[in-house]
Amino acid sequence: MYLDCLLARAMKAKCYQNSEFLKAVLGSHPSYTWRSIWSVRGLLEEGMGWRNEAWLPGPRQGKITDQDINVNFTTITDLINSDHSTWRLEVLEKLFDEDQKNRIMTILVVGVDIMDVRVWKGDNTSEYTAKNRYKWLLTEDTTTRDATLSQTTLYNFYNRLWNLQLTSKIKFTLWKVINNYIPTFNNLQARRLMDLVNYIFWECLISKSILQEVGIETSPNTHGQNWKIWLANVFTNMEEEQREYLAIALWVIWVITFIKAYKAESTSTVKEIATSAGLYNSMWSPPRANTIKCNFDAAYNNYLLKLVMGIMFRDSEGLILALCTYHNPFNTDTTTMEVKTCLQAVTVAEAPSSDASKLDKSNIVVIVHKIKERTRRFETFTCSFVGRSANQATHEMVEKGKKWPDQRVWIEEAPHRVEMILRKDRRPLNDGWNGSEE
């Protein structure tokens, strides 16, 4: 039950107005609804805990090792400059080695107070439901040697899955596949045919051919195994590159099979792929009159360990107004990288003279919140994804920015290579094409 829903607020106002649910008493003459809700309090206390995430990104399970002990620094807040919401670099260099210091610096410091959160620790959903409780009870009963072995196999599988350098949508799709959380018709019908996911991702001829293309053989003797354990074993024993191929292959199977079936599309798979490819073969289009269009891109330099962001502003005639490149070290997550680049673009548009290179203050949620707050100051603001071909000029700036030691800004001009791409983008305008509004 969500605490802000109507039922929760009504129960609190009536039954435990000056307390919280875990400390509430049953009372005299309780209603059937309150008695039912209150009766599960013991189960909640048994399976509930505080959210405890790994601190450091990367290996070693998020734990600090080999640090110099100093009684002056006992909590995380001692390592943070609270006035600027940044890490105290001189303290990190004193306490930790170079590798751990760099990994700590990749963590975005939240500039607002966030309360500790209670979660349901019975499974990965972190939310209590009657179904989750039943599943947890069944899991507690299977404490045999096979169950322990399966848990070890699955632990290794998940550990390698989340470490893949792939987009989140592919990793989450594979997680849904192995746990049979794919929203198939059978799953929505109380899972009366439990082997549907088995068939689609393992036994179907199309799936077999796709898996064989990436070097995964589904020999006849594998069909007697449990699908989840088989996939976990195969995935764990692969090299890093093969794991990425397998994850992408299963994601492709999901896209071309399930999504097509549920949308009842009559087009062929080839046509779908061609349509998707059209997005990446599109051309840059100008904004409407009296409107400025901003394109931005980002890339990570693995050798120099720094993020390079490129931002470009153009008018309705395709003429460049300003462009700039910024460096931001200690950031390796691609999703955070793109969101921060968007915030950087909004900041430059809002106040071009400000030092926008020091915005490493929050996590993705807070960054998005900042973007929404700042864009309210503009008369109109829209944001959309475009393919590489429609953003070639900005991408070229980012590639050049990898080689430059500092940030650079141009006003109404650009490097020669970028100017050539800009002229190519303006060519349809000179031929009389007005483009489409974005």
Domains, the chain, with CATH or none: 1-39 (no CATH), 60-105 (no CATH), 145-266 (no CATH), 293-430 (3.30.420.10)
- Would you say 122 and 132 are in contact if contact means Cβ atoms under 8 Å apart? yes
| DSSP output for 234-287 | HHHTS-HHHHHHHHHHHHHHHIIIIIHHHTT--S-HHHHHHHHHHHHT------
Q: Which two tokens stand for residue 38?
A: 């209150």
**What does the pLDDT read at residue 196?**
60
pLDDT of the residue at 361: 37
Query: Sign of the CA dihedral 67, 71, 77, 79?
Result: negative
First to last CA, the chain: 40
Q: What's the burial of 215, exposed, middle or buried (CB within 10 Å: 0-12/13-18/19+)?
A: exposed
Q: Which residues of the chain have pLDDT under 50?
A: 141-145, 188-195, 220-221, 223, 262-280, 352-363, 433-438
What is the pLDDT at residue 264? 45
Name the phi and psi angles at 394, rounded to 5. -65, -40
**β partners of residue 308:** 299, 327
What are the structure tokens assigned to 260, written together? 């097509």
Tokens of 151: 């848990």
Query: What is the model's pLDDT at position 331?
Result: 59
